[in-house]
Amino acid sequence: MKVKITKNKETIAGVEQFLSRLDSDSSEEEKKQHEENRKDPYLFAVTDLTFCPRRTYYKKTVDEDRDLNLKSKLRLIRGKLYDELISGNFTDSQLEVETEFDDGIRIHGRVDGIGVEGKEKYVFELKTIETLHFIENEKKPTQSALIQTKIYCAMLGIKRAKIVYFAPSDVMEFDIRFTDDELNQALQDAHSTALGINLAIRGGSLPDRQPKNHWKCRECIYKDICWGENNG
């Protein structure tokens, strides 16, 4: 018997095909729109406001749309599969939401689902994750998941959310209720982050880097530009 072992490669049977199928699911028109949205200095995805403002600045200003690394692509595949499996459980799934502010800044997102329990609506947010260890230790969702979900709740006027973490062999749910103040604050914070990036793109100073060796930088696809040049 001859055995050839391949690890951590997109060329493993099925992975590459699945990824190209995800890509080909989008029409040329959708791809063009995606590219325009990516470069639009007034339009921000909610997820781009929850991580690192400097990364969003690069996403909008670097010429090419950079590819995700393999780990992120595999997480994306798992996320897509879970999304398809759970979408039937909700009245609205993959719901597109957008809010526009007076200064022209717009934030948009796609909510995984809106559920109803009794008469109460909740925002459902699904997160795929490698392991639950960090979440279990912290006893709360990650900061970025919490901010993202809070912004969705504020945009939809819904005060309750369920954030569910799916690890390969484990699952954990957080059932959260927000106050009006928390939701208003989340929307204001999202707006000021977006405005800061917008001003940077229009000639202001570059958003600050994360502290050196920060975990956010570990898998960042703009690390080479960000840390590789003496650009402030």
What is the contact surface with ligand SF4 in residues (CB under 6 A)? 52, 54-55, 58, 209-210, 216-217, 220, 222-223, 226-227
Which residue, 154 or 217, is less far from ligand SF4 as judged by CB? 217
Work out how close the CB of 229 gets to ligand SF4 at its nearest, in angstroms, rounded to a whole number.
Answer: 11
Residue 174 to residue 163: CA distance in whole angstroms: 5
Q: Which amino acid, one-letter code, is at 6? A: T
Please state the closest distance from residue 71 (CB atom) to ligand SF4, in A.
15
Burial 63-82 (b: 16+ CB within 10 A, else e): eeeeeeeeeebbbebbbeeb
134, 171 contact by CB (below 8 A): no
Cβ proximity of 187 and 152 under 8 Å: no
Nearest approach, Cβ of 53 to ligand SF4 (angstroms)? 8
Q: What is the DSSP letter of 89?
A: G
Q: Please, are residues 149 and 123 in contact by the beta-carbon 8 Å criterion? A: yes
Per-position DSSP letters for 25-60, written without gaps between them? TS-HHHHHHHHHHHH-TTEEEGGGGSS-HHHHHHHH
Q: Nearer Cβ to ligand SF4, position 181 or 229?
A: 229
Closer of 173 and 208 to ligand SF4 (Cβ) = 208
Nearest Cα to Cα of residue 162 among 177, 147, 151: 177
**Nearest distance from residue 107's CB to ligand SF4, in Å?**
19
Q: How far is the CB of 218 from ligand SF4 (least distance, A)?
A: 8
Is residue 95 within 8 Å of 152, Cβ to Cβ? no
Nearer to ligand SF4, 88 or 228 (CB): 228
Nearer Cβ to ligand SF4, position 27 or 213?
213
Q: At its nearest, how many Å lie between ligand SF4 and the CB of residue 127?
A: 19
